[in-house]
Amino acid sequence: MAARSPLRLLAPIAIVVVLVGVVVVVVGSSDGGSGDKGSARTATAPAKKVPRKRTYRVKEGDTLTAISDKTGVSTARLIALNPGLDPQALQLGDRLKLRP
């Protein structure tokens, strides 16, 4: 009886690799159902909110992060504009500067 070659184990591995490659190509090239295959998708950054008001009055349940999200001013900027501000002790009715 002739000795079997260890290369015989590579055939099943090669088949799996090819199948995985096909799945990756098919899934990666799907365009989400749009009929236009030639258009390139471009990601646009969301527009920054520019605070219209100069101050914000703290409402019940507000946190510094929530105020930042509502106004578009970063938490670091809020802290810099409002020296002595304790983010853990916001009081109802406090006025926070949004712009210098």
pLDDT digits (tens, 9 = 90+) for 22-44: 888 887 776 555 555 555 556 66
Q: Which amino acid is at 43?
A: A
pLDDT digits (tens, 9 = 90+) for 45-86: 665 655 578 999 999 999 999 999 999 999 999 999 999 989
How many other CB atoms are there within 10 angstroms of residue 73's CB atom?
Answer: 22
Can you give the pTM of this predicted structure? 0.49
SS3 78: helix
Is pLDDT at 92 greater than 70 in this prediction?
yes
Token pair 């019940």: residue: 60
Question: Which residue intervals of the chain are DSSP H helices?
Answer: 10-29, 64-71, 75-81
